[in-house]
Amino acid sequence: MKLESTPQGVVAGSIPLFAGHPSHDLLPIAGVRRAAASLWGGGQVTRLFDYGDEQGNPQLIEFLVERLNRVERLGISRENLMIIGGATGGVDLICDQLTQAGDVVLVDAPSYRDALHIFRDRHLDVRDVAIDDGGAIVGDMARSLRALADAGRAPKFYYVVPNFQNPSGITMPEARRRAIIELSRQYGFAIVEDDVYNDIRFCDALPPSFYALAAGENVLRMGTYSKTLAPGLRIGWLLASAARIADFVSSGVLKMGGGANPFTAAIVAEYCRSGEWEAHLAWLRGQYRQRRDIAQSALDAAMPPGVSYSRPNGGYFIWLHLPPTVDIADLAERARWENVYFAPGTGFYVDPEQGARHLRLSFSFVPIDDLRAGIEILGRLIREMSA
Amino acid sequence: MKLESTPQGVVAGSIPLFAGHPSHDLLPIAGVRRAAASLWGGGQVTRLFDYGDEQGNPQLIEFLVERLNRVERLGISRENLMIIGGATGGVDLICDQLTQAGDVVLVDAPSYRDALHIFRDRHLDVRDVAIDDGGAIVGDMARSLRALADAGRAPKFYYVVPNFQNPSGITMPEARRRAIIELSRQYGFAIVEDDVYNDIRFCDALPPSFYALAAGENVLRMGTYSKTLAPGLRIGWLLASAARIADFVSSGVLKMGGGANPFTAAIVAEYCRSGEWEAHLAWLRGQYRQRRDIAQSALDAAMPPGVSYSRPNGGYFIWLHLPPTVDIADLAERARWENVYFAPGTGFYVDPEQGARHLRLSFSFVPIDDLRAGIEILGRLIREMSA
């Protein structure tokens, strides 16, 4: 199976194991088409074309509030939620509103590469906290906060992907979330909870979100349709306190352009209200779970002793730890000669050198045969380099 | 004629003369529907749903480069243009990439309210330059620049709406543009040219853009489909030097979320390539010109001596200067009682007090009968307050 078209950053004919995109055969194109078709004839069709409410499409807000309250037993109201242009739009807005150049923010080591990139673009002072298999190590975070406090400083926020972290695949357990909320209260920083993989889970339940555990206090939580519907629609949501949502909604960017993407938000609202999204989600989880299983079996078969890797219960990614004999730049170069591309660990750290023994594989995007073939090729190259 | 639905910020049943939206009867809904329909069946349909190229939809870039070169006799190539989420997305990106909190930026007095709001949100040090009927007064700008230089500072950019300025309706003549480009070279600041009303002109030609006059050097010029197609699609474009576009395209926000709104950008590209946009533009100019004429006649009939107002050759807005007897807050309050809303001048100045004698009317949005009725009501109220 070959890709129909070559998306952003992908070399035609290659095996792009770096790509955190949904596979093209998992996009519910027909369902979105039906949703769009049912809007054209309606009396509210002009609403798709005009500037939208700053808070976002009201029907979509209503749908999400009801769903989050039902599925997660939250007690939010519509004042707690706004529509954003994907999680990216949320991170950008949060940085606009909460930070200035030079402000400190905390991240995990490793953390999501493109979020680090945004923080660097904004000249933020990014401090990282080591992780173990439960995410950020609370003692290390506390030490870092004390040292900052001694210097008269405090972070503006801690940025975290709490479930199936990008890149490590780790889900942080409840106790650790509670401990970090305690630190956030003590030191007065916000928690930016980038929860974009929540709905791509292969397990029954997830720990309660930071947002739920803190009763919404000083937590900004993002969700997205990019992983469970289609990234090209650019629609996500942001949960926060009513006061913070009101602040954000009255920001200059929202006043100038109106709310996030009225045209696609209306289509997403219609798609979700039809019930198609829930059915699609159930199917999608099975598809991604199968891809995770295939990747895991291929890794078990292909990787030599000395290579370890995560076994994530959801999300898009597997994180590999290489033996010291394997140079990551060298491996990337050899893989490129065989048309295989992965995300080197170096991009996921404030100090790139810390990632020199890691790489991230995505099982979400490439055709299944390519997933197997790509991992076999990487296994062979690593065996050759370990010999 | 009543509005089908009530958009963002509009009180139902009111006459919102503040609203800088396209009138709902001017939205080419059927044409956009045809463009979308023709995409669903195509082999590239997955491209609508996936993350997009960071620079934006390639077909739309190609269309715009060809059109701008043809219509304006520019010599740009595709390296000079990227797609943005409306002009708002451009202003946000430019601020991300070019400024930090505390940086100086120059604006006109008055200037576009929501842009001022964005600059304030980012804690920029906003300095304004007085305008006359040709826009920013060069001598005043030069004095301000010298004073800044004496304090060891220089602005990062000068933000200007060069054609049919929001709110004043003024189009800056070529000589003044050239003089400001000279100052920008002397003092090393960029020119952010927010040219969103370019295509809504009722005259034959406009002066060459800052971008053209400076041969693209240190000018960032924005255009948008929000005024000539539909704001809800959130699609615009940014012209700049190839080096700057390359910088912007490799920013964290673009890397994280991909290029601007792939789904709607593909629809807009299809709509434009079909030739419908040019035909729609020609028709639209006639429609807005008629609305401008109606507003102007209504003002001539309704306003007492002592009230003066702009006679713009394009755009959406008329700017009124009131006699000293009329208190703007009092007028707004009385108008509200009669269900008429306008944009008080105070919002368009760094120092709100400077706008206390002004108000902005939009002729773009309300039904034509309401446009006449709203202006008659305002005229009566102002006459009563002037008596």
Least confident of A200-204, A313-317, B293-297, B360-364: A200-204
Q: Is 80 exceeded by the pLDDT of residue A42?
A: no
What is the average per-residue pLDDT within B120-137? 96
Determine the pLDDT at residue B6: 56
What residue type is assigned to position B120 of the chain?
R
Environment class of A147 (CB within 10 Å of its CB; exposed 0-12, middle 13-18, buried 19+): exposed
Taking an 8 Å cut-off on Cβ atoms, the answer to whether B252 and A22 are in contact is no
Q: Tens digit of pLDDT for each residue in B46-67?
A: 888 999 999 999 999 999 999 9
- Is the pLDDT confidence value at A74 over 80? yes
Say if the Cβ atoms of B262 and A232 lie within 8 Å: yes
The reported pLDDT for the residue numbered B8 is: 61
Q: Is the pTM of this model over 0.90?
A: yes
Contact A257 B22 (CB under 8 A): no
Chain B residues with CB-CB distance to A7 below 8 A: 46-47, 50-52
Q: Give B-chain residues touching A46 at CB under 8 angstroms.
A: 4-5, 7, 24, 27, 29
- Does residue A338 register a pLDDT over 60? yes
**How far is residue A24's CA from residue A274's CA, in Å, rounded to a whole number?**
22
B contact residues 170-199, partner A, Cβ 8 Å cutoff: none
Categorize the per-residue pLDDT at B9 as very low, low, confident or very high, splitting at 50, 70 and 90. low
Residue A303 DSSP label: P
Is the Cβ of B55 closer than 8 Å to some Cβ of chain A?
no
* B97 shares contact with chain A (CB less than 8 Å): yes
Interchain pair A117, B256: CB under 8 A: yes
- Give residue A6's pLDDT: 56
Residues A8, B53: C-beta atoms closer than 8 Å: yes
Mean pLDDT, chain A, integer: 94
CB proximity B151 to A under 8 Å: no
Residues 112-131 of A with CB under 8 A from B: 114-123
CATH fold for domain B15-20+278-386: Aspartate Aminotransferase, domain 1 (3.90.1150)
pLDDT, tens digit, for every residue of B330-358? 999 999 999 999 999 999 999 999 999 99
pLDDT at A1: 31
Q: Report the pLDDT value the prediction gives residue B236, as an integer from 0 to 100.
A: 98
Give B375's DSSP letter: H
Q: What is the pLDDT of residue A383?
A: 95
> Between chains, do B117 and A49 touch, taking CB under 8 Å as contact?
no
Put simply, whether B253 touches A (Cβ < 8 Å) is yes
> Is B233 within 8 Å of chain A by CB?
yes
What pLDDT score does B5 carry?
Answer: 47
Complete edge-to-edge strand list for the sheet that includes strand A104-109: A81-84, A236-239, A219-224, A190-194, A157-160, A104-109, A125-132, A135-136
Q: At what angle do helices B29-40 and A29-40 cross, to 10 degrees?
A: 160
Kindly identify which residue of chain B lies nearest to residue A265, measuring between CA atoms: B232
Mean pLDDT of A5-27: 83
Share of chain A above pLDDT 90, in %: 92
pLDDT digit string, tens, across residues B293-320: 999 999 999 999 999 999 999 999 999 9
Distance of alpha carbon B55 from alpha carbon B260, whole angstroms: 8
- The dihedral built from the CA positions of residue A288, A292, A297 and A301, taken in this order, carries a sign that is positive
CB-based contact, A41 to chain B, within 8 Å:
no
Q: What is the pLDDT of residues A275-292, one digit of tens each?
A: 999 999 999 999 999 999
Q: One fold for both B15-20+278-386 and B33-274?
A: no
**Is A44 at the interface with chain B, CB within 8 A?**
yes
The CATH T-level fold of domain B33-274 is Aspartate Aminotransferase; domain 2 (3.40.640)
Phi and psi at A343, nearest 5°, equal -100, 110
Spatial separation of the C-alpha atoms in residues A228 and A212, rounded to whole Å: 22
Choose from B8, B84, B271 for mutation: most chain A CBs within 10 A. B8
The answer to whether residue A36 neighbours chain B at the CB level (below 8 Å) is yes
The span from the CA of B93 to the CA of B240, in Å, is: 13
Residues of A in contact with B97 (CB under 8 A): 121
**Interface membership of A247 toward B (CB under 8 Å):** no
Question: Which residue matches tokens 């807000």?
Answer: A61
Nearest-CA distance from A122 to chain B in Å?
Answer: 6
pLDDT of residue B40: 86
Ranges A38-52, A88-102, B82-96: which has the least confidence = A38-52
Q: Which two tokens stand for residue A219?
A: 């937590």
From residue B228, alpha-carbon distances to A104, A254, B66, B315 in Å are: 42, 20, 18, 11
| Cβ pair B86:A257 closer than 8 A | yes
- Do A262 and B234 make contact, defined as CB atoms within 8 angstroms? yes
Residue A46 pLDDT class (50, 70, 90 cuts): confident
* Closest listed residue to residue B87, CA positions, set B272, B223, B191: B223
Q: Please give the structure tokens belonging to residue A239.
A: 């949960």
Taking the CA of residue B303 and the nearest CA in chain A, the distance in Å comes to 30
pLDDT digits (tens, 9 = 90+) for A289-298: 999 999 999 9
Q: Sorting pLDDT into bands at 50, 70 and 90, what band is A8?
A: low
What pLDDT is attached to residue B194? 98
Contact B101, A266 (CB under 8 A): no
> How many beta carbons lie within 10 A of that of residue A378, not counting itself?
26
| Closest-approach residue (CA) in chain B for A27 | B49
8 A C-beta contact, residue B320 and residue B356: no
Interatomic CA distance for residues B113 and B361, integer angstroms = 14
DSSP B233-286: G--EEEE--HHHHHHHHTSHHHHHH-SS-HHHHHHHHHHHHTTHHHHHHHHHHH
What distances in angstroms separate CA B137 from CA B128, B144, B169, B175, B354, one per listed residue? 11, 11, 16, 12, 16
pLDDT at B220 over 50: yes
Interface test with B, best of A263, A280, A284, A316 (most B CBs within 10 A): A263
Q: Does B280 touch chain A (CB under 8 A)?
A: no
Buried b (16+ CB within 10 A) or exposed e, A212-243: bbbebebbbbbbbbbbbbbbbbbbbbbbbbee
Chain B, nearest residue to A19 by Cα: B51
Which residues in chain A are contacts of B92 at CB distance < 8 A? 92, 96, 253
Domain range annotation of chain B: 15-20+278-386, 33-274
The alpha carbon of residue B227 is apart from the nearest alpha carbon of chain A, in Å, by 10
- Report which of B104, B105, B98, B283 is spatially closest to residue B200, judged by C-alpha positions: B283
| Helix intervals (H) in chain B | 29-40, 45-49, 58-72, 86-98, 113-121, 138-150, 174-187, 210-213, 242-249, 252-257, 262-273, 276-302, 328-337, 368-386
Cα end-to-end span (Å), chain A? 33
Check B46 against A24: CB less than 8 A apart: yes
Chain-chain contact of B22 with A50 (C-beta, under 8 angstroms):
yes
Cβ–Cβ gap B49/A233 under 8 Å: yes
pLDDT of residue A2: 35
Q: Which residues contact B278 (CB under 8 A, 6 or more apart)?
A: none
Query: Phi and psi dihedrals of B77, rounded to 5?
Result: -120, 175
From B48, which residue of chain A is nearest by alpha-carbon distance? A232
Stretch B108-127: mean pLDDT, rounded?
A: 97
Is B146 near chain A, with CB under 8 Å? no
Tracing tokens 């004095």 back to the chain, one arrives at B143
pLDDT band of B42, cuts 50, 70, 90: confident
Distance between CA atoms of A333 and A56, rounded to whole angstroms? 45
Tell me whether A166 touches chain B (CB under 8 Å). no
The total of other beta-carbon atoms located within 10 Å of residue B204's CB is 6
In angstroms, the CA B147 to CA B126 distance is 14
**What CA–CA distance (Å, rounded) separates A114 from A12?**
23
Q: State the ipTM, two decimals.
A: 0.94
Return the amino acid letter for A27.
L
CA distance B90 to B96: 10
**Subunit contact A97:B53, Cβ cutoff 8 A:** no
Q: B247 in contact with A at a CB cutoff of 8 Å?
A: no
- Which of B91, B114, B258 is nearest residue A8 as measured by Cβ atoms? B258
pLDDT tens-digit profile of B161-173? 999 999 999 999 9
- Which tokens sit at B344? 């008080």
Summarised one tens digit per residue, pLDDT across range A153-185 is 999 999 999 999 999 999 999 999 999 999 999
Nearest to A265 by CA among A63, A23, A66: A63
